[in-house]
């Protein structure tokens, strides 16, 4: 099917892009890699009057560090993260999750920020950002605000973003002590969206877990932050009982549905098992990875 007719603009500066959205944000769609937007246009699920292509804003294509945060620009693609050697050392959950996304064609064009703005509850990045306590920088002609990942997803395919805003950057707090993370994904075949996936990140204080982050994929109307499981880990030695309890609590936070890929009960049990596996992998990495 062909998309419905739309105007197309490809601004050369961020100010220009924001100016266009200030005028026509209500009827416009931003396009980054186009890996979700173009299929939606072709299926006519989205029929914007205007597409604002931000791909010509190279300043948004950088990974950096600023004010105690790792910063990921809006045009940083899945493949950039997958191949980033410094991230493989300091935050291995990021390249690991990137590698699980789709196939090389999608990873070569799709962006992390675009994926999060698309807010598919089966998207992988949402869970990772929840586990990492990330923030999204939303920029409009009127200024900037930061939105915690925990309040960004408001429903399936809906976010806290306003029509005149662009996510210009994702910010992830950098921790100084030992830390580690892992992304565990069950997919029907290579390249599929998740049947269930789990992101786990731990920060250690000696032999105890100082902070744990757990995000869930494809088991609810949005990516879910398993807050009770996170709290049950904080301040504790990672004994097998503590890890098992975190798995049970995370499964309790999941709200999956029966579908062709499995029953709700099965998916909840996958969450339980993956949280335990993810914690073991994250704890092993925390022994070797320092930011």
CA dist., res. 237 & res. 243, Å (int): 9
Which residue's C-beta sits nearest to ligand FAD? 110
Stretch 121-140: interaction string toward ligand FAD, x if CB under 6 A: --xxx---------------
Q: Output 110 or 256, the one with its CB closest to ligand FAD.
A: 110
Tell the smallest beta-carbon distance from residue 74 to ligand FAD (Å). Answer: 4
Our finding on whether 115 is near ligand FAD (CB under 6 A) is yes
Shorter beta-carbon distance to ligand FAD: residue 164 or 203:
164
- Which is nearest to 118 in space by CA: 106, 107, 110, 130? 110
Count of residues binding ligand FAD (CB under 6 A)? 28
Closest CA to 191 of 275, 104, 63: 104
Angle CA(141)–CA(162)–CA(225) in degrees, nearest 5?
125
Of the two residues 36 and 276, which places its CB atom closer to ligand FAD in the complex? 36
Q: To the nearest 10°, the Cα dihedral for 72, 281, 83, 213? A: -10
Q: Which structure tokens are listed for 81?
A: 């993260």
Query: Within 13 Å and on the Cβ side, how many CA atoms surround 269?
Result: 6
Give which of 78, 108, 118 is closest to 96, Cα–Cα. Answer: 78
- Sign of torsion, CA 206 281 88 234? negative
Binding part of the chain for ligand FAD, among 8-16, 28-36, 85-93, 141-149 by CB under 6 A, reads 28-36
Instruction: Please check whether residue 223 is in contact with residue 127, taking contact to mean a CB–CB distance below 8 angstroms.
Output: yes
Residue from the set 18, 21, 31, 91 that interacts with ligand FAD by CB under 6 A? 31
Q: Which of 25, 33, 73, 213 binds ligand FAD (CB under 6 A)?
A: 33
List, in order, residues 6 or more apart from 63 with CB less than 8 Å away: 70, 71, 72, 73, 76, 80, 81, 84, 87
Expressed in percent and rounded to 5, the helix, strand and coil fractions of the chain are 40, 30, 35
Provide the 3-class DSSP secondary structure of residue 105: helix
Q: Please, what is the minimum distance in Å from the beta carbon of residue 216 to ligand FAD?
A: 13
Residues 241-280 that bind ligand FAD (CB under 6 A): none
**37 near ligand FAD, rule: CB under 6 A:** yes
Is residue 184 involved in binding ligand FAD (CB under 6 A)? no
* Region of 29-37, 225-233, 251-259, 267-275 interacting with ligand FAD (CB under 6 A): 29-37
Closest distance of CB 262 from ligand FAD, Å: 17
To the nearest whole angstrom, how small is the minimum distance from the Cβ of residue 218 to ligand FAD?
Answer: 9
The burial of 59, by beta-carbon neighbours within 10 Å (0-12 exposed, 13-18 middle, 19 or more buried), is given as exposed
**Span of 64-72, 102-110, 241-249, 258-266 interacting with ligand FAD by CB under 6 A:** 102-110
Is 114 a binding residue for ligand FAD by CB under 6 A? The answer is yes
Site for ligand FAD in 42-101 (CB under 6 A): 74, 101
Determine which residue in the list 91, 118, 137, 198 makes contact with ligand FAD, applying CB under 6 A.
118
Residues that bind ligand FAD (CB under 6 A): 29-37, 39, 74, 101-102, 106, 110-111, 113-115, 117-118, 123-125, 161, 166-167, 193
């Amino acid at each position: 099917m062909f998309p419905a007719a739309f105007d197309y603009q490809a601004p050369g500066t961020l100010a220009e892009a924001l100016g266009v959205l200030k005028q026509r944000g209500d009827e416009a769609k931003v396009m980054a890699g186009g890996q979700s937007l173009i299929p939606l246009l072709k299926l006519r699920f989205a029929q914007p009057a205007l597409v604002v292509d931000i791909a010509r804003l190279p300043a948004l294509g950088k990974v950096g560090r600023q004010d105690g945060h790792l910063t990921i620009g809006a045009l940083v693609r899945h493949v950039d993260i997958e191949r980033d050697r410094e991230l493989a050392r300091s935050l291995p959950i990021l390249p690991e999750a990137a590698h699980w996304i789709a196939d090389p064609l999608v990873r070569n064009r799709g962006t992390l920020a675009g994926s999060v703005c698309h807010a598919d509850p089966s998207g992988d990045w949402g869970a990772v950002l929840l586990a990492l306590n990330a923030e999204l920088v939303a920029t409009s002609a009127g200024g900037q605000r930061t939105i915690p990942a925990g309040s960004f997803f408001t429903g399936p395919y809906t976010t806290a973003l306003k029509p005149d805003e662009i996510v210009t950057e994702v910010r992830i707090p950098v921790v100084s002590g030992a830390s580690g993370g892992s992304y565990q994904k069950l997919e029907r075949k290579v390249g599929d969206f998740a049947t269930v996936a789990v992101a786990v990140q731990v920060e250690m204080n000696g032999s105890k877990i100082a902070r744990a982050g757990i995000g869930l994929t494809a088991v609810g109307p949005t990516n879910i932050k398993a807050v009770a499981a996170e709290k049950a880990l904080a301040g504790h030695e990672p004994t097998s009982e503590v890890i098992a309890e975190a798995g049970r609590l995370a499964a309790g936070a999941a709200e999956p549905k029966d579908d062709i890929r499995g029953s709700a009960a099965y998916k909840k049990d996958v969450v339980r098992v993956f949280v335990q596996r993810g914690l073991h992998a994250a704890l092993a990495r925390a022994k070797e990875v320092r930011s």
